[in-house]
Chains A and B, each alone.
Chain A
Amino acid sequence: MLSDLFIRLRSLFRRGTVEAELDDELRSHLEHLVEKCVRSGLSRDEALRRARIEFGGIDQVKDECREAWGVNLIETVWQDLRFAVRLLSKTPLTSAAALFSLALGIGANTAIFSLIDAVMLRMLPVRDPEQLVQIKFRSPQSANLRQSVTNPIWEQVRDRQDVLSGVFAWGPDTFDLANGGEQDSVHGIYASGGYFATLGVRPAAGRLLNPSDDLRGCGGAAVLGYGFWQRRYAGAPSAIGSMIRLDGHQFPIVGVSQRGFTGADVGEPLDVAIPICAEAILHGKDSFLDDRSAWWLLMMGRLKPGTTVEQTAARMNVLSPRIFSASVPLDWDSASQQLFREYSLVADPAGSGTAGFTGIRKQYGQPLEILMVVVALVLLIACANIASLQLARSAARRREIGLRMSLGASRTRLLRQVLTESLALSLSGAALGALFARWGSVFLVRMVSPSHDALFLDLSLDTRVLVFTSAIAVLTGLLFGVSPALATTRTPAVAAIKETLEQAGGGRSQSAAARWIIAAQVALSLTLLVGAGLFIRTFTNLMSVDAGFDRSNVLLVDTNIHNAQIPGPARIPFYGQMLARIQALPGVVSAGQTWMRPLSGSEWNNNIEIPGRQLPNGVDPLTYLNWITPDYLATMRTRLIAGRSFDARDSASSLPVAIVNQTFARRFFPGENPLGMRFGTGERGPVRAKWLQIVGVMQDAKYDDLREDFVPVAYFPLAQMADVGESSTFEIRTAANPSSLIPAVRDAIGSVNRVASLEFFTLQQEADDTAIQERLLAVLSGFFGALALVLTAIGLYGLMAYVVTLRTREIGIRVALGASRSSVLSLVLGDLAALVIAGSAAGAAIAFWLTRYVQHLLFGLPSIDGLSFALAAAALAVIVIAASFLPARRAMRVNPMVALRYE
């Protein structure tokens, strides 16, 4: 109704005019009344008196008129608000405590959920990831699942499988955008035509690759990753249709993949995808497409709706003989070929290893779930704070409420007052929380970003979460603020007034609730602290684990000489020249070269054989291989345990030799001296000889990542290799900061070959980046553990301060009657101590129980890590003492005279 709105607004904003009009109107009425009385014969004074009596209280009438305008509600709310602020500022510390608990709780939750949301979106933008299975295979001799396949195997699988609704294959690679010199490398994949469609990824612009792009002899097409498109092309639509140079070959860009899609591999961003057939464009006659010994592709499929993994695996098993018979490596010896025919395909939903969305779930899903539980606990603690502070406050207000009721305040009016107060507190806490969330999420992302791959995260605050957490906090405030007030307004006013302050404070049900809340807070905090201790210790263990090499001051240089067009046999002396130049650089302590970069996740492995022996059943023959140069072990500071290192004696014409690690020696030659023993690598490939003689045993060193158990490793000298590839890595130990040597190394390699493309890492960086998940958990659980402590301290402090205030009179009486300080202290603290101990015990039990669920995420810790428990308990004890110190001191200093006069 317009008149309604108009009158409300007019009375609100033209207050003066409206009030004056009301005055006029009422005065006019009064004058009429007086005149009437005068006409009936009264004197003017008498008439005035009579009129006033008859009219009644003018102010009351005015009030009722104002009520009729509908402004009264707004006014009383405003009044309530001012009163609430006044009341809250009367106990500034307690109020600030409540405010900050809320702000921290809401802020931290919103920040972490925004981050998790961003990470989840980044990780899982595919359709129904639970339907995806990785297709692997196993040799009848080994329990190990192997995932890399050749293109002939993939083509057989693609054409013969009939049990999956879709299959695709991809091969990760890096492509160089630059034209020689330092590599401008991007993370790319060769993708089969069904890659995007089977994953269920949509284009953000243009189109994605489809089966017609992936036909033999194709001209090539490139799809950009969303992040890459944003970084390099600023998201310009004109990028589509333009050309991109990859390893010196031009590809037309046909589209951009869905935002947040980072490919089927964990941890690597997806910058560009080209079809598998385009591999022939890049590598010409060295192409892998028909190479039956090039293991460079990974396969994945989507289950048909309604079929189980087991059904699918059974069908794959039936198909296996035909698939493998059609793709036998022709250069293998006949025994190996026969074994190959017996390989069987497996559908692996767990997707262990680096590939697979289910693998992502396993690797990142659980830490994220843990963090969600952690933040939920933190929010609980924050809410507990609000609850206990509101309870304390309402206890102290019983008398005030009783007094106001007896003075005629209506119950609704009083409840509205309490409601306003709770809301004022909660809403300002929520507002402050939004601010904290803003800062918090920026801070968090900075903390968890890997060193060289900054996380590409959309950091907009999650308003849904902000609203949700705020709503929870507001509800808590209302519940614990209003329900005691409800109870109070139900008790007869007189009884409430008569209660002394301390009786009110000890209101039985309320103080029982407050005690429960404190005990629960202590328990939750201890749980969080133990968790933080476990994850922080896991991370530090991982960082300080003996990896078998010294990770400080080592520069790693990935080198690719594809552009130099050097034929296979000439590469070894060519590498020798490069290494010599690097070794001659000032600041270089020593330098080596390998095929596989340590901790890179790339591996070369094979099943080994021992001449004249059969490996016992249950001994896994899989051994990880690499070729190295003589100074490699010294450069990595990997100790030689027995025998000798490689040196100039080892040449193409001398006896083929190898160095193995301790695990190799223990597994294949238990109780024997491995020196002088011989072994072979089955399929020969780059290894020249069928049998190699062990000349040295080195200490165990990590091959793939820091968490792995040591695996059997065998190294061969570069000089004895039959064939070496175009890519390799130089390891350079430097005297000072390794990064400072990058320009000199670039020039040194450039002086041998200008078009070699290079990429620089440090070993430290590599090691750090293998522990990203552990760092995320350590940093965040530590952060939230600390936050829980702070919140608990705030809650304890606020409650203690209130208790002391409420009992000031009682304490005064006791002191006046001769109570000692220590008895006062035990009066105040005794109760608290019992609560804290009970809470801690419960917390320890919860933590003990939960540890089982995170056991596999821990590293280098006993199954029950006493130190983490002890540290958590100690931290909690310190905080409890600190929080209760000030109120306790105040209690001890109560002056009996002042306290007794207080009422």
Chain B
Amino acid sequence: MAADRVELPQGTLDLLILRTLALEPQHGWAISERVQQLSSDVLRIQQGSLYPALHRLERRGWIKAHWGASENNRRAKYYELTKSGRRQLDAERDAWEKLTAAVAQVLGAAREGV
């Protein structure tokens, strides 16, 4: 297990879930595995916060769920992105990119000033 794991900043969990589901419908476990894998093990979702987040997004109508068979033939609850979820993902991604760019710029300027 990598030692340089990073705590998820507030509000990014939703973005990560939506992004992961943009690829294909997934069940909860697969979402957490996929995030870990895509971030090269840097990001790891707290199991305890994943499911409340999923249920919250479902209630907002950004993702919808259906029951299906998992890869090892178990019953699993698959989540997929809805249309409004896709719009939400785009909006949140834009906001995130603006934020990180701005933060990076500030940090860069600060470094130059030192």
Residues of chain A touching chain B, judged by Cβ–Cβ distance below 8 Å, are 1-4, 7-8, 21-22, 24-26, 28-29, 31-33, 54-57, 60-61, 64-65, 67-70
Cβ of A357 to closest chain B Cβ, rounded Å: 63
CA A79 to CA B51, docked complex, whole Å: 25
Q: Is B39 close to A, CB under 8 A?
A: no
The residue in chain A whose Cβ has the minimal distance to the Cβ of B30 is A32
Residue of A nearest to B58 (CB): A7
* Known interface pairs A28-B75, A68-B55; A4-B60 also in contact (CB < 8 Å): yes
Pair B74/A31 contact, Cβ less than 8 Å: yes
Q: List 17 A-B contacts (CB under 8 A).
A: A2-B61, A3-B64, A7-B59, A21-B77, A22-B51, A25-B51, A28-B29, A28-B70, A29-B29, A33-B47, A56-B47, A56-B48, A64-B48, A64-B52, A65-B51, A65-B55, A68-B56
> Nearest chain B CB to A29's CB is how many angstroms away?
5
What count of chain B residues pass the 8 Å CB interface test?
A: 23
Residue of B nearest to A55 (CB): B47
A residues within 8 A CB of B59?
3-4, 7-8, 68-70
B60 with A26: CB separation less than 8 A = no
List the A residue with the shortest CB-CB distance to B57.
A68
CB-defined contacts of A1 to chain B, threshold 8 Å: 60-61
**Do A28 and B74 touch across chains, with their CB atoms under 8 A apart?**
yes
A207 shortest CB reach to chain B, Å: 62
CB contact under 8 A between A29 and B58, given known A55-B48, A56-B46, A64-B52: no
Contact indicator A28/B51 (Cβ below 8 Å): no
B28 in contact (CB, < 8 A): yes
Question: Which residue of chain A has its CB nearest to the CB of B72?
Answer: A35
Which of B29, B56, B58 is the most central at the interface, judged by chain A CB atoms within 10 Å of its CB?
Answer: B29
Question: A29 near B47 (CB under 8 angstroms)?
Answer: yes
Bound: A4/B55 CA distance, A: 11
Contacts of B47 in A (CB 8 A): 29, 33, 54-56, 61
Report the Cα distance A2→B58, complex, angstroms.
11
Judge whether A3 and B74 touch: CB under 8 Å.
no
Q: How far is the CA of A22 from the CA of B77 in the complex (A)?
A: 9
* Distance (whole angstroms) from the CB of B63 to the closest CB of chain A: 9
Tell me if B27 is interfacial: C-beta within 8 Å of chain A: yes
A64 to B46 CA separation, bound complex (whole angstroms): 13
CA separation between A227 and B113, bound complex, in Å? 93
B76 at the interface (CB under 8 A from A): yes
What is the CA–CA distance of A3 and B56 in the complex, to the nearest angstrom?
Answer: 11
Residues A61 and B61 in contact, CB atoms below 8 Å apart: no
- Give residues 59-101 of B contacting A (CB, 8 Å): 59-61, 64, 67, 70, 74-77
Q: In the bound complex, do residue A33 and residue B29 qualify as a contact, i.e. CB atoms below 8 Å apart?
A: yes
With known contacts A3-B58, A33-B29, A28–B77 Cβ distance under 8 A = yes
Contact (Cβ within 8 A) A29 B28: yes
Main secondary structure of the interface of B (DSSP, over half): helix
Residue of B nearest to A56 (CB): B48
Bound complex: CA of A29 vs CA of B47, how far in Å? Answer: 9
Residues of A within 8 A of B74 (CB): 28, 31
A28 touches B48 (CB 8 A): no
Contact B29 A61 (CB under 8 A): no
Please name all residues of chain A whose beta carbon is closer than 8 Å to the beta carbon of B49 when the two chains form the complex.
64
* Known A7-B58, A29-B29, A69-B55; further 20 A-B contacts with Cβ < 8 A: A3-B58, A4-B61, A21-B77, A24-B75, A25-B28, A25-B51, A25-B76, A28-B29, A28-B74, A29-B51, A32-B29, A33-B29, A55-B48, A56-B48, A57-B48, A60-B48, A61-B47, A64-B48, A65-B51, A68-B56
Asked whether, in the complex, the Cβ of A26 is within 8 Å of the Cβ of B27, the reply is no
Give the complex CA separation of A69 and B59 in angstroms: 7
Closest chain-B Cβ to A337's Cβ sits at a distance in Å of 97
Beyond A56-B48, A61-B48, whether A28 also contacts B27 by CB under 8 A is yes
State in angstroms the CA–CA spacing of A54 and B45 once bound together: 11
Residues of A within 8 A of B55 (CB): 65, 68-69
Residue pair B77, A24 in contact (C-beta under 8 Å): yes
Q: Which residues of B contact A21 (CB under 8 A)?
A: 67, 77
Residues of chain A contacted by B29 (CB below 8 angstroms): 28-29, 32-33
Q: Are B77 and A25 in contact (CB under 8 A)?
A: yes
Find the B residue at minimum CB distance from A25: B77
What are the residues of chain B within 8 A of A55 when measuring CB–CB?
47-48
- CB nearest to B61 among chain A residues: A3
Q: A57 to chain B: closest CB distance in Å?
A: 7
How close is B92's CB to chain A, nearest CB, in angstroms? 18
Of the listed residues A25, A57, A69, the one surrounded by the most CB atoms of chain B closer than 10 A to its CB is: A25
- CB proximity of B88 to chain A, nearest CB, Å: 12
Min CB distance, A3 to chain B, in Å?
4
Q: Which residue of A lies closest to B74 (CB)?
A: A28
B21 to chain A, nearest CB (A): 15
Complex contacts, B53 vs chain A, CB 8 Å: 68
Partner of B52, one of A24, A29, A32, A65: A65
- Write out, one digit per residue, whether chain B residues 4-19 have a CB within 8 A of any chain A CB (1) or not (0): 0000000000000000
Contact residues in A for B61 (Cβ distance below 8 Å): 1-4
Q: How far is the CA of A486 from the CA of B52 in the complex (A)?
A: 31
- A54 to chain B: which residues have CB within 8 Å? 47
Chain B residues in 8 Å Cβ range of A25: 27-28, 51, 76-77
Q: What separation, in Å, do the CA atoms of A56 and B77 have in the docked complex?
A: 20
Interfacial chain A residues near B75, Cβ < 8 Å: 24, 28
* Chain A residue nearest in CB terms to B64: A3
Complex Cα–Cα for A68 and B67 (A)? 19
CA distance A4 to B76 in the complex (A): 22
